[in-house]
Chain A
Amino acid sequence: MSAAADISTEPLVRVEDVHTYYGKSHILHGVSLHVGPGEVVGLLGRNGVGKSTTLKTIMGLVQPSHGTVMLDGNAISGLPPHKLAGLGIGYVPEDRRIFRLLTVMENLRVGFDRGGVTEEKRRALLDKAFMYFPRLAERRNQAGGTLSGGEQQMLAIARAMMLEPKIILLDEPTEGLMPRMVSQIRQIIEVLHKEGVAILLVEQNVPLTLEVSQRIYIMEKGSVRHHCAASEIKVDDPVIKQYLGV
Chain B
Amino acid sequence: MEAVSQFIQNIPLDLLLIQTVNGIVTGMILALVASGLTLIFGIMDVVNFAHGELFMMGAYLGVLVMATTGSFWLALIIATLMIAILGAALQILTLRPLIGRDPLNTILVTFGLSLILQNFALWEYGPVPRKLPEPITAHFNLFYLQYPWYRIVIAALSAAIIGGFWLYLKYGKFGIWIRATTQDRVMAQAMGIPVPWVYTGVFALGAAMAAASGVLFGPLGSINHTMGLDWVLKAFIVVVVGGMGNLGGSIAAAIFISLLEAYASIWVSPAQAVIVSFIVLILTLLFRPTGLFVATPK
Contact = CB atoms under 8 A, between A and B. Distances in A.
Interface of A: 59, 61, 80-82, 85-86, 91, 93, 97, 99-102, 106, 109-111, 113-114, 159-160, 163
A102 B176 contact: yes
B68 to A, nearest CB: 37
Interface stretch (B122-130, B178-186, B251-259, B264-272): B178-186
Interface stretch (B10-18, B72-80, B156-164, B188-196): B188-196
Contacts of A82: 189-195
A99 B192 contact: no
Contact of A110 (B186, B188, B195, B196): B188
A56 B96 CA distance: 23
Nearest to B187: A97
B190 A99 contact: no
B179 A85 contact: no
B173 interface: yes
A61 to B, nearest CB: 6
Given A82-B195, A113-B173, A102 B190 contact: no
Nearest to A87: B192
Interface of B: 173, 176-177, 179-180, 183-184, 186-196
11 contacts: A61-B190, A80-B196, A82-B192, A82-B194, A93-B187, A97-B187, A99-B188, A101-B179, A111-B191, A113-B173, A113-B176
Given A80-B196, A102-B180, A106-B180, 10 more contacts: A61-B186, A82-B193, A91-B190, A97-B186, A97-B187, A99-B187, A101-B179, A110-B193, A113-B173, A114-B192
Nearest to A103: B176
| Ranked 10 nearest A-B pairs via Cβ | A85-B192, A81-B189, A97-B187, A91-B190, A82-B194, A99-B180, A99-B183, A82-B189, A110-B191, A81-B190
B191 A159 contact: yes
Contacts of A101: 179, 183
Given A80-B189, A85-B192, A100 B176 contact: no
